[in-house]
Chains A and B, each alone.
Chain A
Amino acid sequence: MTHRYLKNVVSLELDKDKCTGCGKCTEVCPHNVFIIENGLAEIIDRDRCMECGACANNCPFEAVTVEPGVGCAAAIIKGWLTGSEPSCDCSGGDSSSCC
């Protein structure tokens, strides 16, 4: 049974003019969002993207962009309350934590 999250939300973009088809994005993506077709990367299923940022960080040609972050409601709430960026820091020091 595969998991499906919300449709048409993610910030993932691929600039095919910069892509060289090196395939690094297919190597790092944990949800097989990319394939290499006709020598270039192709996004086959955007809705599977979880915006982890692995593809953008590891693309040597800056062809992939995404706004990375933590898909964690508790972190987002904490970010609102403390006025900081949401992060997985609920595990720091505190004994109760998320991930």
Chain B
Amino acid sequence: MQINSTTTQLRFNDIIGSWKARWGINRMNYKVDPGVYSVGAPDKESPVLVTANYKLTFDSLRKELKGLDVWILVIDTKGINVWCAAGKGTFDTEEIVGRIGKMGLAEIVSHRIIVLPQLGAPGVSAHELTKRTGFRVIYGPVRAKDIKEFLRAGMKATTEMREVRFGFVDRLVLTPMELVGSIKTSVAIFAVMFLLNLIAAKPFGVVDLYAFVGTVIAGSVITPILLPWIPGRAFAWKGWLMGMIWVVTVIILNGWPISATFGTIRGIGYLLALPAVSAFIAMNFTGSSTYTSPTGVLKEMKFALPLMVISAGAGIIALLISLFI
């Protein structure tokens, strides 16, 4: 059976590749081949670590294995990270059972233990996997950087290693994708604004442009970054609040209501439409967060979506009116 060897050193290309993936460039095709990889000089007694075939995942695991002799079993998750793959069913019992058989893992090692990433657990049934393969499953830590300590402690993870966090940096690295995700819709909106300008008596200008761009940033960058510090719990609310603060700032900067560079009606349009937009963008960040339950998201949506539609609808009407009077 073919075994590939790999290193614990990331090269320049790996770093460029991860940067591109974070910005959504070729992100869905950033994969390594499934199979067995050796790190260092593993033998029949060496631990087996299972991971996904998303290259960002594979790289973040192997760079933490300096000085260790271990096997990595990469399963085919279609280039998706462990947690998302477990959620959508590509990191599952079936795939691991199949891969263990196909690679002849029972011949490569003499022990019968595999270490699965803890975040794979939503997709896997450990007892069923053991029943079908004879391999006992031990769930490793959430973060690859704890692997060494976990192995040193005799494959025991501390409570701390078991907990998912969503710290400042974790949120920050996600914001480029949030921003990229809003670009297509934003361009469409700019196109509509441009077309309206052709017939408007008081066309949209620079203020309208940065008011809108700032709103998108409030929802897709500022809300994720400030997430735990923004009061309240629902994401839509947090996004609405950030958008509202931005809109009020824009309005004050332009001298409203006393000597507005734009009229009162347009100001009202902003107040109604823009926070609804940032609320919607922020609500969609629930999917990138690590702690929202589907029941909770549904509850939030049932409350927030109708309000967003009404508020945005009324705001758009006010903005349209403001173009002509």
Contact = CB atoms under 8 A, between A and B. Distances in A.
A is bound by B: yes
Interface of A: 1-7, 9-11, 24, 26-32, 48-54, 57-58, 60, 67-77, 86-99
Interface residues of B, number: 56
Contacts of B78: 92
Q: What 6 pairs between A and B have smallest CB-CB spacing?
A: A72-B287, A69-B294, A71-B292, A54-B121, A28-B121, A30-B164
B295 to A, nearest CB: 5
Given A74-B284, A97-B28, A58 B289 contact: no
Contact of A31 (B28, B163, B295): B163
Interface stretch (B39-47, B122-130, B246-254, B264-272): B122-130
Interface stretch (B62-70, B226-234, B255-263): B226-234
Nearest to A30: B164
Interface of B: 24, 27-28, 78, 80-81, 83-84, 86-88, 118-119, 121-127, 139, 142, 157, 159, 162-164, 166, 177, 180-181, 184, 227-229, 233-235, 283-284, 286-301
Residue in A29, A51, A99 whose Cβ sees the most chain B Cβ within 10 Å = A99
Q: Is the interface of A mostly helix, strand, loop or mixed?
A: loop
Contact of A6 (B122, B181, B227, B233): B233
Contacts of A58: 121, 124-127
A36 to B, nearest CB: 12
A10 B228 contact: no
B159 A27 contact: no
